[in-house]
Amino acid sequence: MPLLTSAMLGAVAKSALCAAVNPFLADAKEIALSAARDAIPDTLTGGMSLEEWANVIAEAADRTKDSCERGSELRFVGGEIKLAVSAVQDNSITASFHLYFLDARQKWQRTEAYTNIPSSRFSKDALEELTEKLEIKYAVE
């Protein structure tokens, strides 16, 4: 079978990340439209911890890893999940994963996906830790 190109790897990765994160953001637009939302403490809005978000993103990374290995000559080597304070968008956290593969010719192939998650979807403790550290990384095995 032909090797997946970088663009195809990227499309698979982005699709998996969106599929994993979107259910948790389904009500984000409704919340954002509500002027009262900002007055509600994070503990009442049900913000998720860093570990909970990392698990959601890990599901997307695993689906991507499986899709890339199935029917191709790619072998997964490793990767990472990153949650970081967004440098582009205020009041959001950038969630991403990067996966590394070796192809049949022993050349490195990489795929990645990014998305921004409203900071209101994170717990107060998670936001405090991210504000202090600016980014948190988790290994993908």
Q: Is residue 117 within 8 Å of 96, Cβ to Cβ?
A: no
- Give pLDDT, residue 135: 94
Give the 3-state secondary structure of residue 44: helix
- Give pLDDT, residue 38: 42
22 burial type by CB count under 10 A (0-12 exposed, 13-18 middle, 19+ buried): exposed
pLDDT in 10s for each residue of the chain, 141 residues: 344 445 555 666 666 655 555 554 444 344 433 433 343 444 445 688 999 999 888 888 888 888 888 877 888 999 999 999 877 667 889 898 898 988 888 988 888 888 888 888 899 999 999 999 999 999 998
Distance CA 6, CA 46 (A): 37
- Give pLDDT, residue 17: 56
Distance CA 30, CA 33 (A): 5
- Give pLDDT, residue 63: 85
